[in-house]
Structure 1
Amino acid sequence: MVAPDLGRAVRPTPSDAGLRVEPGSFRDPANRVYHCGDDVLRALDETAAAHWRALAASTFFPPLISAGKVCGTEELSPAAAGRSLPADWAAVLRHERIPFVSHPYEWSHAMLRDAALLHLEILRAALPAGFTTKDGSAYNLQWRGSEPVFIDVGSFAPLRDGEPWAGYRQFCQTMLYPLLLGAHLGLDFQPWLRSRIDGIEADQMVRLFRGRRRLSPGVLTHVHLHGSVQRRNADRSTADVRAQLRDAGYTGEVALAAVRGMEKLVRRLDHQPSASHWVDYQRTCGYSGEDRAAKERFVAAALTSAPRHGLVLDLGANDGHYSRLAARHADYVVAVEQDPVVVDRLYRALRAEGERRVLPLVLDLADPSPGGGWRGVERASFAARASADTVLALALVHHLAIGRNVPLAEVVSCLTGLAAPGGQLVVEFVHPEDPMAARLLANKPDGIFPHYRRDTFEALLAAHGTISGRWELPAGTRTLYQVALGA
Structure 2
Amino acid sequence: MTVPDTDVRVEPGSFRDPGNRVFHRGDEVLRGLDERCARDWRALSVTDFFRAQTAAGRIVGTEELTPTPVDAPWAAVLRHERIPFVSHPYEWSYGMLRDAALLHLDVLAAALEAGFTTKDGSAYNLQWHGARPVFIDIGSFEALRDGEPWAGYRQFCQTLLYPLLIQAHLGLDFQPFLRARVDGVEPEQMRRLFAGLRRWRAGVPTHVHLHGAIQSRNSAASTRDVRDQLRAAGFSRELALATVRGLTRLVGRLDHRPGDSHWSDYQRTCAYSVPDRQAKEAFVDRAVAGAGAYSVLDLGANDGRYARIAARHAGHVVAVEQDPAVVDTLYRTLREEGEQRILPLVMDLADPSPGGGWRGVERAAFVDRARADVVLALAVVHHLAIGRNVPLPDVLDQLTALTATGGNLVVEFVHPDDPMARRLLANKPDGLFPDYRRDAFEALLARRGRIVSRTVLPSGTRTLYQVVVGG
Coarse TM-score class (shorter-chain normalised): over 0.9
Q: Tell me how far apart the structure 1 counterparts of residues 380 and 33 of structure 2 sit (CA, whole Å).
A: 46
5+ unaligned residues in a row in structure 1: which ranges?
1-14
The corresponding residue for 2:231 is 246
Amino acid aligned to 1:237 = S
Is 1:477 the counterpart of 2:461? The answer is yes
The corresponding residue for 2:60 is 71
Correspondent of 1:442 among 426, 433, 450: 426
Q: Is the 8 A contact 2:30 2:79 kept in 1?
A: yes
Q: How does 1:24-173 map to 2 (within 5 A)?
A: 24-78=13-67, 81-83=68-70, 86-87=72-73, 89-173=74-158
Q: Is the 8 A contact 1:186 1:273 kept in 2?
A: no
Q: Tell me how far apart the structure 1 counterparts of residues 53 and 150 of structure 2 sit (CA, whole Å).
A: 20
Q: Is the 8 A contact 2:258 2:328 kept in 1?
A: no
SS of match in other structure, 2:264: helix
The corresponding residue for 1:232 is 217
Q: Tell me how far apart the structure 1 counterparts of residues 60 and 210 of structure 2 sit (CA, whole Å).
A: 34
**1:132-176 deviation line (CA, Å, top 9, x unaligned):** 000100000000000000000000001111100000000000000
Is 1:486 the counterpart of 2:470? The answer is yes
Q: Tell me how far apart the structure 1 counterparts of residues 308 and 461 of structure 2 sit (CA, whole Å).
A: 26
Deviation at 1:86, TM superposition (A): 3.5
Deviation at 1:273, TM superposition (A): 2.9
Structure 1's 376 and 450: CA in aligned 2 closer, same or farther, altered over 3 A? same
Amino acid aligned to 2:403 = A
Q: Tell me how far apart the structure 1 counterparts of residues 468 and 63 of structure 2 sit (CA, whole Å).
A: 39
Q: Is the 8 A contact 1:17 1:36 kept in 2?
A: no
The corresponding residue for 1:411 is 395
Deviation at 1:128, TM superposition (A): 1.6
Correspondent of 1:467 among 425, 448, 451: 451
Amino acid aligned to 1:144 = H
SS of match in other structure, 1:359: strand
Q: Tell me how far apart the structure 1 counterparts of residues 264 and 6 of structure 2 sit (CA, whole Å).
A: 45
Q: Tell me how far apart the structure 2 counterparts of residues 146 and 40 of structure 1 sit (CA, whole Å).
A: 21
Q: Tell me how far apart the structure 1 counterparts of residues 182 and 283 of structure 2 sit (CA, whole Å).
A: 41
Amino acid aligned to 2:194 = F
Q: Is the 8 A contact 2:303 2:326 kept in 1?
A: yes
**1:296-324 deviation line (CA, Å, top 9, x unaligned):** 11111111221x21110000000000000
**1:84-123 deviation line (CA, Å, top 9, x unaligned):** x533x10000000000000000000000000000000001
Q: Tell me how far apart the structure 2 counterparts of residues 82 and 27 of structure 1 sit (CA, whole Å).
A: 24
SS of match in other structure, 2:265: helix
The corresponding residue for 1:301 is 286
Deviation at 1:58, TM superposition (A): 1.7
**1:349-385 deviation line (CA, Å, top 9, x unaligned):** 0001110000000000100000111111110000000
**TM-score, normalization: structure 2?**
0.98
Structure 1's 39 and 268: CA in aligned 2 closer, same or farther, altered over 3 A? same
Correspondent of 1:278 among 258, 263, 272: 263
SS of match in other structure, 1:23: coil
Deviation at 1:205, TM superposition (A): 0.4
Identity of aligned residues (%): 70
Q: How does 1:211-230 map to 2 (within 5 A)?
A: 211-230=196-215
Amino acid aligned to 1:175 = L
Q: Tell me how far apart the structure 2 counterparts of residues 305 and 57 of structure 1 sit (CA, whole Å).
A: 45
Deviation at 1:59, TM superposition (A): 2.3
Q: Is the 8 A contact 1:17 1:37 kept in 2?
A: no
Q: Tell me how far apart the structure 2 counterparts of residues 248 and 461 of structure 1 sit (CA, whole Å).
A: 70
Deviation at 1:57, TM superposition (A): 1.7
Q: Is the 8 A contact 1:105 1:190 kept in 2?
A: yes
Is 1:370 the counterpart of 2:354? The answer is yes
Q: Tell me how far apart the structure 2 counterparts of residues 197 and 423 of structure 1 sit (CA, whole Å).
A: 33
Q: Tell me how far apart the structure 2 counterparts of residues 352 and 297 of structure 1 sit (CA, whole Å).
A: 26
The corresponding residue for 1:4 is none
The corresponding residue for 2:315 is 331
Amino acid aligned to 2:261 = S
The corresponding residue for 2:174 is 189
Q: Tell me how far apart the structure 2 counterparts of residues 32 and 200 of structure 1 sit (CA, whole Å).
A: 26
The corresponding residue for 1:259 is 244
SS of match in other structure, 1:279: coil
The corresponding residue for 1:342 is 326
Deviation at 1:17, TM superposition (A): 8.6
Q: Tell me how far apart the structure 2 counterparts of residues 253 and 156 of structure 1 sit (CA, whole Å).
A: 18
Q: Return 311-320 or 291-300, whichever deviates more.
A: 291-300
Amino acid aligned to 1:46 = E
Deviation at 1:50, TM superposition (A): 0.3
5+ unaligned residues in a row in structure 2: which ranges?
none
Q: Is the 8 A contact 2:258 2:329 kept in 1?
A: no
Amino acid aligned to 1:176 = L
The corresponding residue for 1:10 is none
Deviation at 1:18, TM superposition (A): 1.3
SS of match in other structure, 1:278: coil
Q: Is the 8 A contact 1:470 1:482 kept in 2?
A: yes
